[in-house]
Structure 1
Amino acid sequence: MKHLIDLPLWIAGPVAVFLVIGATLTLLGTLGLVQLRSFYDRLHAPTLGTSWGAAAILLASMILFSWVEGRPVAHELVIGVLVMVTTPVTLMLVGRAALHRDRAEGRGDVPPARKTTGSDQG
């Protein structure tokens, strides 16, 4: 870690800013998960921390290690793309599964299923 002592300020500044932003978004997502009461409210908060929080931390990592290694380090892009793609898809699938379960159990606090007619099936 001795090479990090000699890190120029113009690299250390953006790295620190991205780390603080990523950590803050992840913390907000965690607090939202703990504080919000209903399952459907809790779905949204962790996705903020998972997607944008992780993206900011990955940007900080890319900047830092590209400077330290003297070459572009882009394998974090693969991680970022996978997180940014899978998080919303997982959110939708978990939300739809919970909605289906709640409708099947007859809970009154969820909207009823929409009836499809012949004209809706396009």
Structure 2
Amino acid sequence: MVVRDWAPQPEILAHKSTGGYMSHCGWNSCIESITMGVPIAAFPMHSDQPTNAVLVTEILKVGLSVREPIESLEVVKASTIESVVKRLMDSKEGDEVRKRAEELAVVVRRATEEGGASRVELDSFIAHICRD
């Protein structure tokens, strides 16, 4: 576990030994994790995080939920976190989630490479706003 004021999150997620990521599901954290192909143990707190957690766990299926979005201020038990981490790292369900995360990462990286759909659209937008 890394506890710092500011951690180099993309570098950590890109490291080959990173097998999962417990995240509050802020948008940037989700994008970084998805891009690196790292499955998420979703622990949303507030704002956009609950919606992002649903996207990650129920729609994209590249993560597992540690808890439902805040409905109370109840403390999540260590045993609950342990259970989700074990499911993510050492189960058939976790294997499937990790596989989907890796597959989605390939799609995302292709889209952002030179000639990829996202890259083409971004370049077009930049050209449009920079024209004389």
Q: Please give the TM-score of this superposition, normalised by the length of structure 2.
A: 0.33
Which is greater in Rg? Answer: 1
Higher relative contact order (CA 8 A, sep 6+): 1
- More strand per residue: 1 or 2? 2
- More helix per residue: 1 or 2? 1
Q: Please give the TM-score of this superposition, normalised by the length of structure 1.
A: 0.34
